[in-house]
A = this chain, B = another copy of it.
Amino acid sequence: MEAKSQSIMADSYAMNGGDGPYSYAQNSMYQRGIMETAKRMINEEIAMKLDIQKLSLAASEPIRIADLGCSCGPNTILAIQNILEALKRKFQTHPTPEFQVFFNDQVSNDFNSLFASLPELGRQYYAACVPGSFHGRLFPTASLHFVYSSCALNWLSKVPKEVVDKTDPAWNQGRIHYTGAPKEVFEAYSDQFAKDIGSFLQARVKELAPSGLMALVIPAVPDMISHPHITTGSEFELVGSCLMDMAKMGIVSEARIDTFNLPIYYTYPKELRQIIEGNGCFSIERMDMLNIPKQHIAMPDLRQRTVYIRAALEALIEKHFGKKIIDQLFEMYSRKLSESPIFLKPENQKTTAIFVLLKPI
């Protein structure tokens, strides 16, 4: 067995670490809103679907939970706490087992910040972290009982190679994302997403115990038709247009922009269902759009909107264009955002997320 040979050599992206003004920890309220909305569904599904008799636990075996793509902020701690409470309710009439929680993210994730935010007192689980890409194997066979992943599977394992190939019809010239791009660009992204979900499911079905469950929360759009109009994708387009402005000002080269693309994709329910069903490893026990209450999308403010995008994209942009352009880029972005107030109206926020509960077949 070579754990690594089964894994995918994915590119490593990580959110901004630490707890500074541009950190993911301080700027993940949107992801927090999604998580809070998914909480009720997770509670219901654990109550209904988790078969603790069949969980085939030896008396001494702990229940193992994994959060894949946990990042470093407080969201993962809260999500795990919720899952744990739901599981403990299930064991009310049984001896409560021990719990072990595995926090997974890319090698470059700020794990020390994550560890520092682990509750010191009253923590009811043994904590461990697992570095690496969830597009490949991370855990021994059948060793997990509940897998959770929120706001992580919208990150592709890599930028589709076609979009940086000048000779390909999918070459994404002058843009950094598929929003507003020809359909070939969108299709290249969509194909990469299907491959990534496929490898994710193949790895997880081996890692999950036969009676385990997997709850995924995946940022998405309501349907394909609305794709060109969604806010978040258009915000990426806005970042791209700021870069193009910087090219006109001679600060970056256009060629450099042409080789930069965001490895982010927003799926839609029909597509996700087709990929999962086509994969054949898991049955879909539930699939719902998350009707995220507006109060959870706590981004009415220009500064907050800017740092939210910055927390997520800064590391990627810095790696490609260098550190020097970052401040100016996000100043320009902020100005453009204020000049297009459409972005700041909550009713134009069309992004949502899909909740899906899966069971190994």
Q: Which of A134-142, A239-247, A297-305, A339-347 contacts B (4 or more CB under 8 A)?
A: A134-142
User: C-beta contact mask, A106-137 vs B, less than 8 Å → 1, else 0?
Assistant: 01101110011011111111111111100001
The size of the chain A interface, using a CB distance under 8 A, is 44
Cα of A60 to Cα of B129 in the assembled complex, Å: 21
Stretch with Cβ within 8 A of B (4 or more), from A74-82, A95-103, A320-328 = A95-103
Give the nearest-CB partner of A14 in chain B: B112
A145 → chain B closest CB, angstroms:
12
* In the bound complex, CA of A257 to CA of B138 (Å): 47
B123 touches A3 (CB 8 A): yes
- Choose among B62, B118, B119, B141 the residue that contacts A60 (Cβ–Cβ < 8 A): B141
Contacts of A123 in B (CB 8 A): 2-4
Which A positions have Cβ atoms within 8 angstroms of B?
1-5, 9, 58, 60-62, 96, 98-100, 102, 107-108, 110-112, 115-116, 118-132, 137-143
B130 touching A130, Cβ below 8 Å: no
Do A60 and B142 have beta carbons less than 8 Å apart?
yes
CA distance A62 to B100 in the complex (A): 15
User: Known: A107-B116, A111-B111. Contact between A3 and B124, CB under 8 A?
Assistant: yes
Question: Separation in Å of the A113 CB from the closest CB of chain B?
Answer: 10
* CA of A112 to CA of B119, assembled, Å: 21
Q: How far is the CB of A205 from chain B (nearest CB, A)?
A: 14
Contact call B115/A131, Cβ cutoff below 8 A: yes
Give the residues in chain B near A118, CB-CB below 8 Å: 107, 131
Q: Name 16 interchain pairs, CB-CB below 8 A, sorted by A.
A: A2-B124, A3-B98, A3-B124, A3-B125, A3-B126, A3-B127, A4-B122, A100-B143, A111-B129, A112-B112, A126-B130, A126-B137, A127-B132, A128-B128, A129-B129, A129-B130
Which residues of B sit under 8 angstroms from A98, Cβ to Cβ? Answer: 1, 3, 140-141
Closest beta carbon of chain B to A112's beta carbon, Å: 6
Q: How far is the CA of A126 from the CA of B98 in the complex (A)?
A: 21
B-side contacts of A122, CB under 8 Å: 2, 4-5
Whether B140 and A100, one on each chain, are in contact in the complex, defined by CB atoms closer than 8 angstroms, is yes
**What residues of chain B lie closer than 8 Å to A1, measured between beta carbons?**
96, 98-99, 124
Residue among A4, A61, A116, A126 facing the most chain B CB atoms (10 A cut-off): A126
Given contacts A4-B123, A5-B121, 19 further A-B pairs with CB under 8 A are A1-B96, A1-B124, A3-B123, A3-B126, A3-B127, A58-B58, A60-B140, A62-B140, A100-B139, A100-B143, A107-B112, A118-B131, A126-B130, A126-B137, A127-B130, A127-B131, A127-B132, A129-B129, A129-B131
- Bound complex: CA A99 to CA B2 (Å): 10
Are A138 and B111 within 8 A (Cβ)? no
Alpha-carbon gap, A116 to B14, bound state (A): 14
Q: What's the nearest-Cβ distance from chain B to residue A157, in Å? A: 15
B129 touches A128 (CB 8 A): yes
Nearest-CB residue, chain B, relative to A139: B126
Whether the pair B138, A126 counts as a contact (CB closer than 8 A) is: yes
Q: Note all chain B residues with C-beta closer than 8 A to A2.
A: 122-124
Instruction: List, in ascending order, chain B residues with CB within 8 A of A58's CB.
Output: 58
